[in-house]
Amino acid sequence: MRKIILSILGLALIAVAYFGAKTLINNKNKPKPVVPKVVKTVLTDTVKNTTVPIVIQANGNLTAKQRVELYSEVQGIFKTGNKLFKPGQKYNQGETLIRIDASEYYASVQSAKSNLYNSIAAIMPDLRLDFPDVFPKWQSYLNGFDLNKTTPKLPEISNEKENYFITGRGIVSAYYNVKNLEQRLAKYRITAPFSGILTEALVTEGTLVRNGQKLGEFINPSVYEMEVAVSKSFASVLKEGENVSLSNLEKTENYTGTVSRVNGNIDATTQTITVFIEVKHPDLKEGMYLEANLDAEKVDNAIEIDRNLLLDSQEIYVVKDSLLDVIPAKPIHFSETKVILKDVPNGTIILRKPVPGAYAGMRVKSSSSTTTTKDSIK
């Protein structure tokens, strides 16, 4: 009985092995499934070489072209004027910004003027007797002398004898002493050199102003300048009077400025040159941050594409017979997002947008654009 059971189990194992081997052989002979190839659709442009301007992008803050820092050259009490001396206050040209109490000093000036008048009056009898020919002009000078007005210029001395006589009486030295005092008296009143606005006020009415103390800042809000630094390679092409496109950070406002000055010195550390851009607009304020686009020069027979389309090997992808290929390119100028290329033949089909995982020989389907490369990137 035992032998019969073992014989049955052996036959069963042989049958299982037979059918298992047959199944494996049949599966091995089945054809492998064909994986369909995916052909990516890419956006392309047809190269048309044109003249491409090199635009230098720079940025900076606006500062008033006309700016005055107000300092006191005398000492005294700040007197109240017609307008409050506060930031934001507007003044017209010639209008008084600051008036300092000069009562004591004014009295000393009047005293010196009176002494000059008396000195001239004292020599008039001698002039009548010894210099009758010059007496009339000195008499006319005295008649026109007004203590409440600026001291008039002394009559012109006509000969050597008159010069000795007048100088010997101390008239000339007394006159220049008076003029010196009058010049200092004028410093007790500071006037607006141009129509503008007060941007900083460091003193208030009634305070004691000291000699050399800073009082504030006064600017002309109608004209501003922006200082930008550009590469020294453009030093020879930047010209005064060139128009510059300006915009704010949000790109919501655009302004037009002009290159007013170009510094003749190149910064030894950064190898850049400073350019000053003048701009006028009622909406501008000092300290505003603007971006500028300066037209440096124009490159003939060139195209402009996105920087991410240029490979590290100075090559770009092109489409030939539905396959990607690479050709060499010569970059001329890099901006923040664009690059200008030369030596790309006309009619070449290039990518307009980068393709992830792209490689030479990759099969693609081209989706042409009706615009030229230069136009499509703007």
| pLDDT one-digit tens code per residue, 242-295 | 888 899 888 888 999 999 998 888 888 888 889 899 999 999 999 999 998 887
At 377, the pLDDT band (50, 70, 90 cuts) reads: very low
Q: Which helix (H) or strand (E) holds 349?
A: strand 349-351
Residues 95, 191 contacting (CB under 8 angstroms): yes
Q: Which helix (H) or strand (E) holds 356?
A: none
Rounded to two decimals, the pTM is 0.66
The three-class DSSP label of residue 373 is helix
Contacts of 150 by beta carbon, 8 Å cutoff, 6+ apart: 182
DSSP state for residue 195 in the 8-state scheme: S
* Percent of the chain whose predicted confidence (pLDDT) is above 90: 39
Give the amino acid at 334.
Answer: F
Calculate mean pLDDT across residues 85-89: 93
At 30, the pLDDT band (50, 70, 90 cuts) reads: low
Does the pLDDT value for residue 322 go beyond 60?
A: yes
* pLDDT of amino acid 25: 67
Domains of the chain (ranges; CATH) run 41-52+300-376 (2.40.420.20), 56-63+221-298 (2.40.30.170), 66-101+188-219 (2.40.50.100), 104-186 (no CATH)
Token pair for residue 370? 């009706």
Arithmetic mean of pLDDT over the chain: 85
Does the pLDDT value for residue 92 go beyond 90?
A: yes
| Residue pLDDT, tens place only, 214-242 | 999 999 999 999 999 888 877 777 788 88
pLDDT higher for 39 or 204? 204
Token pair for residue 348? 């070449």
Calculate mean pLDDT across residues 88-98: 93
Closest CA to 76 of 103, 112, 111: 103
* Cα separations in angstroms, 85 against 53, 98, 203, 219: 49, 8, 8, 14
Helical packing angle, 160-168 and 171-186, nearest 10° = 70
Detail the DSSP E strand segments found in 136-223. 189-191, 196-201, 208-209, 214-219
* pLDDT of amino acid 39: 77
Does the pLDDT value for residue 34 go beyond 90?
A: no
Does the pLDDT value for residue 202 go beyond 90?
A: yes
| Residue pLDDT, tens place only, 149-158 | 999 999 998 8
Token pair for residue 165? 């006589």
